[in-house]
Amino acid sequence: MNRKLISAFIIILAALPVLSFALTGDEIVRKADAAAAFKTAEMSGELRVTDRFGTKISTFNSWSRGENESLIEFTSTAERGQKILRTEDEIYLYYPDAEEVIRMQGSALRQGMLGSDISYEDMTGGKDRTSQYDIALTGEESLLGRDCWVLTLTAKTRTVPYPKEIVWIDKKDFILMKGEYFTKSDRMLKEIEVLSIRDFDGITLADKTRISDKLKSGSETVMIINDLKVNIKLDDSVFSLEELSW
């Protein structure tokens, strides 16, 4: 075997580990979805909603189990006691002043939570995006000093909130660093961008994220995570409709 053939063979062998460990778009999205969900979690944080009237700050505590169950309870003075319960298939609101539970459905899901840029529809994720979207790995880019994959997701079904998504996913921790969400005709509806990242007892995730509803002029919401505990014991009743009004 001559030297040129030997050199070519060595190059091919050197490349094999890289090729065998390369991730597909579907695998990247699955890992990103898994990194954003915990067996159980307890979180405290705040929403800073800015519009033409100024900035309003709402604080909250939340509890979650897996990808499909969560409870948010607002603790700021104006919203104290308001709750949002998400089960696998439904979202319910509780208003303590009226002692009323409302099931969100239809066009009401597109409303902003507490007037923010986060819609109730945005909270209905958690389903397998690889079955809902065709996913293409379309580039690479660095955000906040982190190398990211850029992926384009095109909906296979009309049941998803956004027909097209472009997402930037961090290569190290699979954090969603940025997302752009479009109509079928490529009109941008919403943009999400991570502003900072923090380590919570060995768990690295975004602690400050900006969400902008492009259909609202001059509007943006910054969500801040102040504290996070994962894999804690949570009673089943936390996510029950019967306990929502307590």
The CA–CA distances, whole Å, from 99 to 92, 175, 242 equal 13, 38, 13
Nearest CA to 59 out of 39, 41, 44, 38 is that of: 44
What is the reported pLDDT for 10? 47
Nearest CA to 80 out of 63, 55, 97 is that of: 97
Q: What is the pTM of this model?
A: 0.86
* Range 167-181 average pLDDT: 97
The SS3 call for residue 6 is: helix
Residue with tokens 């309003």: 56
* Range 12-24 average pLDDT: 56
| pLDDT > 70 in the chain, percent | 90
What number of other Cβ atoms are within 10 A of residue 13's Cβ? 9
**Topology of domain 24-243, CATH:** outer membrane lipoprotein receptor (LolB), chain A (2.50.20)
Provide the residue ranges of all domains of the chain, joining segments of one domain with +.
24-243
